[in-house]
Amino acid sequence: MDYRHTARKHCEAAAILLSNESDDDLLFAALKLRMALESITYDRSKGFAEDLGPDAMKTWQPKKLMERMLEVDPQADSDATLSFGEEPSLGKTPASMHLLGTDHVLNLRTLKKHYDALGSYLHTPTIAQIEQSKSHDFGKLRERCLMIVKALETSLSSKAWNSTLAIRGEMECAECGDTLRRRLPKDGTERVVQCWSCTASYLMSEAEDQKVHFAARQIEVMCPHEGCGRVSYIWERDVKAGFSWQCPDCNSQLVLALGAMIAPLVK
């Protein structure tokens, strides 16, 4: 499905409906804009199709879908300007660059601000809302719809779209075996990522030649049983009082506990 084309058609229809003064047309415009927000977000997700996890995400609302894209790539909802140029030699900066265009992405902040607010107008006010004088404010709805049209038109007018340039990494989770696919910011800044299946966490960083390294976030705990000393590796998620495990060497049942010490005297 061409979601981008669908988003454009919904946005255009909403703009026409908003040119009228009818409250009924305003409600239809709100519905069209809600569908446009969905369509443009689904279109964005195409560039992350292999990375987003279970098929269940295909049924998610746009806010949750964008949040999942941001877990994969922290710059998934950021604008990006694309240019190209010929290197004078390998790794050297081109003397001139040619602009392809800027990808104006409809971001999570915009979705959070408007998506649910639109939905509240697409239901009949309850008796309690009417008694509390909380019926629909069509003036505010019109202002909101005009803001959304502007945001959508900016995104849909992009000369380039769905850019997903990033340093990508993939690994098999050491805890559960599921595949993790994540991306680093364009500047290579390290980040903490989490397995969606078992919540084991890793520090993701850039290695040489744009390769990616995943380091398990674990602490080392030595078995206190006399004569054992076996080191166990505890996932960061489990570092809390009461977590227990069995030492694989001496079979002692071990448990993490809070410790206490005598505070030094202050003179």
Cβ contact 37:107 at 8 Å: no
Question: Which tens digit of pLDDT belongs to each residue from 25-78?
Answer: 999 999 999 999 999 999 999 989 889 887 767 778 899 999 999 999 999 999
Q: What is the pLDDT of residue 126?
A: 73
Give the Cα separation of 121 and 27 in Å (integer). Answer: 7
Give the chain's residues under pLDDT 70. 56, 129, 131, 133-134, 267
Q: What is the pLDDT of residue 193?
A: 96
Cβ contact 29:114 at 8 Å: no
Hey, what are 27's tokens?
A: 């409600």
Q: What is the DSSP letter of 236?
A: G
What are all long-range contacts of 181-185, with beta carbons under 8 Å and residues at least 24 apart? Answer: 181/50, 181/51, 181/72, 182/51, 182/71, 182/72, 182/73, 182/212, 183/51, 183/72, 183/73, 183/74, 184/212, 185/74, 185/75
Q: What is the pLDDT of residue 156?
A: 96
Q: What is the pLDDT of residue 131?
A: 65
At 80, is the secondary structure helix, strand, or coil? strand
pTM of the model: 0.83
